Structure 1
């Protein structure tokens, strides 16, 4: 079967990048555009200004569902990422463009209801056989996979979109998809594993990430689909009185009269002097860092929320 407008498709690469338009891509973006996508090479090839180019909207993980709305003759597909809520843009999810070669038609025999597994390793690779060559590198934490049978020794076979035969990864890199919501501390622990990951505008993976992507991915690991953007995340979470926040809650930041532009994850209960700490993907430092709130962040802090 082929991709068709009006029907769902699934991501067949480890990490697919969602673009504002096909015309917005730059020469530096080539490693992110092929069917053999290489996100680490793409990230490492960018300078600090290219890391924050606004041509990138978001990223999608292996197996993530999209609704195809348009297919172009030059190989691009306009899609809606239905697992990334973005109510102000589209009630169905986050809209944007992907290379059609990074998508596959879903196999109805391999659905997400088949006791899915979740990648818990920060980054792993899928192998052709147990202990065999890696054929799909760069798979990241939070990726959901459908088991293709019981483990064989320390290895587990999984179904992969667009592939006729299962691939394998270490069974220790997988956990069952959670049946209950995580504690705030559990989500924080996932985010802490991404400390020092490069800041990429629109990034949503352990190869490169932005502030709202860090929050989305940490909760997504546990099956909680928060909106993709920080201002939408504020709407979807519960406000707290400042001072009542605890590790794993969220800080939101906005300039006077402007919408929320930044988000961080609380890492410490505020001290007697009101000192606050957070983990966040920092635009200025171009890294995921954990730090006390500097004065300029404190000046734009507009609230604490709980998921």
Structure 2
């Protein structure tokens, strides 16, 4: 594999974790660093405190594009994740570090494989060497985009995958055609609700572990809508609506006085009497995704409701 600074590459593992710096990696992080990542094993092997360490910035899905900035002799790559907007950090996307072996060369427009674009609609799926054959790539996440490589066979669909010369196979029922229309907010909420009880992981963007803005980013990404990665950028990229006029699928934002937005939730019901509100969110304090009445501490820091303007 030949990657060069200033050129694009693509993620070749099911889920790649974006690190603040190589030196921040801990012994417990081994399963997230290999050429065949085990995100489920990584998360289950961490304590609840380790899951909220600031060494993790975000996560990238199979096939996601990155811009290579620097390649170190020790096998680490400094890059920009161009499909995760992060205006305050870099106008090109989210900056961070990945192991080199988790990337593959990006094909140019003239070399890109042709075929229908498919999206993983299952919460998690696996890619196989043949229909119902050995698993080659486990842990492929909702919202991952793949290129079809031919017709389905006995309920299995061949797809092209970065870093693999031959097509891999995925259960046809786990795929949907890439959306040709914009989703409704309720459709997005329905997808987000499937992640209820997923554990909280700072920087997480997967069905194994996720944070508050990652939940919003991933749910909209399933439908091809690219929202920024972080909550404060998501607030800047969405349209305010008057409190009291919010609808299911809209977004609640939270901030302390004089501070930037630090938390986001998804509206799950219209406001009730006396302004009672409900939301779905990845909760830092309870360390999981839950749907609940808005707690008093959240109500005290609620700064607005927003809508994704399509």
Paired residue for 1:299?
300
Q: In structure 1, what is the equivalent of residue 4 of structure 2?
A: 4
SS of 1:158's equivalent?
Answer: strand
Gaps of 5+ in 2: none
- What secondary structure is seen at the aligned counterpart in 1 of 2:275? coil
Residues 1:195 and 2:196 are matched in the alignment: yes
3-state SS in 1 of match to 2:219? helix
The match for 2:234 is 233
**Structure 2 equivalent of residue 269 of structure 1:** 270
1:162 aligns with 2:163: yes
Q: Do the aligned residues in 2 keep the contact of 1:267 with 1:279 (CA within 8 Å)?
A: yes
Secondary structure of 1:273's counterpart equals: helix
**SS at structure 2 position matched to 1:270:** coil
Cα drift, residue 106 of structure 1: 1.8
Query: Structure 1 254/112 Cα, relative in aligned 2: closer, same or farther at 3 Å?
Result: farther
Note the aligned Cα RMSD (angstroms). Answer: 1.1
**Aligned equivalents of 1:129 and 1:144: distance in 2?**
19
- 2: distance between equivalents of 1:78 and 1:182? 34
- Normalization by structure 2: what TM-score? 0.97
Match of 1:177 in 2: 178
Q: 1:306 to 1:281 in 2, by over 3 A?
A: same
Q: Residues 115 and 149 of structure 2 are in contact (CA less than 8 Å); yes or no, is this contact kept in structure 1?
A: no
- Report what 1:149 is aligned to: 150
Contact 2:158 2:169 in 1 (8 A): yes
List alignment gaps of at least 5 residues for structure 1: none
The whole-number CA distance in structure 2 between the counterparts of 1:164 and 1:112 is 11
- The alpha carbon displacement at 1:114 in A equals 4.1
Q: In 2, Cα distance between the equivalents of 1:159 and 1:274?
A: 50
- The 4+ residue runs of structure 1 with deviation greater than 2 A are 107-115
Structure 1 CA distance for aligned equivalents of residues 257 and 115 of structure 2: 48
Give 1:118 shift.
Answer: 0.2
Q: How many matched pairs?
A: 307
1:54-203 alignment, distance < 5 Å: 54-108=54-108, 111=112, 114-203=115-204
Distance 1:86 1:111 in 2: 27
Cα 1:112–1:48 shift into 2, 3 Å: farther
How far did residue 274 of structure 1 move? 1.1
Structure 1 residue 153: deviation in Å? 2.0
The structural deviation recorded for 1:112 is: 8.2
How far has the Cα of 1:266 moved from its partner? 0.3
CA-CA distance at 1:180 after TM superposition: 1.6
d(CA) in 2 for partners of 1:261, 1:66: 26
Distance 2:113 2:281 in 1: 31
Q: Structure 1 pair 206/112, CA: closer, same or farther in 2 (3 Å)? A: farther
Q: CA deviation at 1:107?
A: 3.2
The Cα shift of 1:110 comes to 6.6
**Cα separation, partners in 2 of 1:227 and 1:112, compared to 1, 3 Å:** farther
